Chains A and B, each alone.
Chain A
């Protein structure tokens, strides 16, 4: 699982960077979105990956999952969504005239 995630992050970052350097603004936008997903996955993986482990546990129960990275990723996703919406508007408006 960690290996798969690492490869995915690498692929996303590579593809993102490639598109970011592309000629049109839509290219750059797609590149930013892909790079953003790569960064989100890095953040997500930072707490360690555990299968089926609960985030909130009672005292003495098995090893929990770290809930903090998930909260951080949620924040980052929301911010990223807002920024993509803004960028799309910017692209649309600058192609008006």
Chain B
């Protein structure tokens, strides 16, 4: 199968799956089967794309045969292929767990079709090469996640969902206005074309207003600190299978957009908010981890950790050396797997102990040693203990901050790392140590949930032991962002930078 077809298959498989699921109606087993199959097909196609783009090659599909920059292009480069593969992996794990453990009213309210549209939008956001199209995929993504959140019951859950919906809609409107301004100033929305126009432009009028709007929009979506308060009020309310999905995907798509737009479209010299981004990133790392230290429930601790980790990845973008960017991409890949897995394990803990509040659980190490192992792998990886994946991500980031001589970044990386270890130990000490509880399991363990959590754990270990090849991929991806010649050639045709007169004549 050619890479072009794989690219389309990646996007279309979950969409077709969603339509079929809706047509079949509320039959949980059948729809679960269809959904898992669709995401598995998409995952296979994404892995094919990773292999095809591993040497930095870029594939572009011009939708409807319209040549760029007039039509919409779907582009797969190393970065987007990597992100696609991890995200589909996590979606698959969350689907398998969700099919096994979610209460019946979730299945009745179209859980599977909604996850599939969410997955379609994820693929679309990673593959699109057009700013307005990115906005549309964000909206599809948001609406799917809103509908999933609206399935929740209870007053507090609804309040959390409302906060999430409101802030994310404001972020979308900022994005829309930014797209309008950029089109008004440049006459194009195509990433490759925009890169050519912004290259070397130090025109404050051209760049600053639009990037400020985009910055606000992406900062809300990826939960950088002053804009992050929707996250800890909504994620802990969701059932762990769903919050694993959200934790793995949503903020990371905001970060992807940041890497793509600020890292590639605006490029090295023209992105004017790097200092601000660094400051916010450090603030986010610190604030997130301090929030986590102060919490007493597993889900809430993990939610605050998402914020803290988002700071690490934003810091990688702010440093913007080749090593830092590669570290950021490696971090994204590692973090999506690990974070989703931690939420899945929190779900397993809840099934075993009846609650994931730290003052109501203890002694799980004696009662369920396998559960302790499942928790230990992602937790140690998140904390950055070698030889697990998090160590290499943090090590590369630390090294790049030392190379640039940025003491603020270095201090933040080391200090926040220590606090992360501390809050993971807090969960470990409260929930896993101590005398084994008298009571047996609150609910019987669900083998598919354990299997998907185990699978993600194995992937974490593999990333740790195969860090070399994967970091190579991340370096290729980072190179593709910093020097997007291959990207531009694939989108606009070889050596074919369009003349300004060309666009005026459309």
Contacts and interface: CB of A to CB of B under 8 A. Distances in A.
Interface in B150-166: 150, 155, 158, 161-162, 165-166
Interface stretch (B175-183, B254-262, B266-274, B438-446): B175-183
Interface string A35-62: 1101110111111100000000000000
Contact of B170 (A20, A75, A79): A20
Contacts of B155: 94, 97
Contacts of A35: 170, 173
Contacts of B198: none
Given A39-B176, A46-B184, A76-B176, A90 B162 contact: yes
B350 interface: no
A46 to B, nearest CB: 3
Given A83-B139, A83-B143, A86-B143, A42 B169 contact: no
Contacts of A83: 139, 142-143, 169
B181 A32 contact: no
A94 B447 CA distance: 35
Contacts of B170: 20, 32, 35
B143 A43 contact: no
B132 interface: yes
A72 B183 contact: yes
Interface string A50-90: 00000000000000000011001001100100110011011
Contact of B177 (A28, A43, A94): A43
A71 B135 CA distance: 14
A79 B139 contact: yes
Interface in B138-153: 139, 142-143, 146-147, 150
Contacts of B425: none
Most A Cβ at <10 Å: residue of B139, B161, B177: B177
A80 to B, nearest CB: 9
Contacts of B174: 39
B139 to A, nearest CB: 5
A69 to B, nearest CB: 7
Contact of B166 (A32, A40, A75, A82): A32
A86 B180 contact: no
B181 A39 contact: no
A90 B164 CA distance: 12
B184 A28 contact: no
Contacts of B139: 79, 83
Contact of B143 (A38, A69, A82, A94): A82
Contacts of A48: 184
Contact of A45 (B136, B158, B161, B184): B184
Interface in A9-28: 20, 25, 28
B226 to A, nearest CB: 16
Contact of B162 (A39, A47, A82, A94): A94
23 contacts: A20-B166, A20-B170, A25-B162, A32-B166, A32-B170, A36-B173, A39-B173, A43-B183, A46-B180, A46-B181, A47-B184, A48-B184, A69-B180, A69-B183, A79-B136, A82-B143, A83-B143, A86-B146, A86-B147, A90-B161, A90-B162, A94-B158, A97-B155
Given A72-B132, A94-B155, 17 more contacts: A20-B166, A20-B170, A28-B166, A32-B170, A39-B177, A43-B177, A46-B180, A68-B183, A69-B183, A72-B180, A75-B136, A79-B139, A86-B146, A87-B165, A90-B146, A90-B161, A94-B162
B150 A90 contact: yes
A46 B146 CA distance: 30
A6 B174 CA distance: 16
Contacts of A20: 166, 170
A95 B121 CA distance: 30
A-B pairs, 9 with minimum CB distance: A46-B184, A43-B180, A42-B180, A46-B180, A39-B176, A94-B158, A46-B183, A39-B173, A39-B177
A89 to B, nearest CB: 8
Contacts of A72: 132, 179-180, 183
B169 A93 contact: no
A9 to B, nearest CB: 9
Contacts of A40: 176
A69 B179 CA distance: 10
A56 to B, nearest CB: 11
A38 to B, nearest CB: 8
B176 A90 contact: no
Nearest to B173: A39
Most B Cβ at <10 Å: residue of A20, A44, A83: A83
A15 to B, nearest CB: 14
A89 B149 CA distance: 13
A47 B183 contact: yes
A93 B139 CA distance: 22
A46 B131 CA distance: 14
Nearest to B146: A86
Interface in B373-418: none
A83 to B, nearest CB: 7
Contacts of B183: 43, 46-47, 68-69, 72
Contacts of A46: 180-181, 183-184
A52 to B, nearest CB: 20
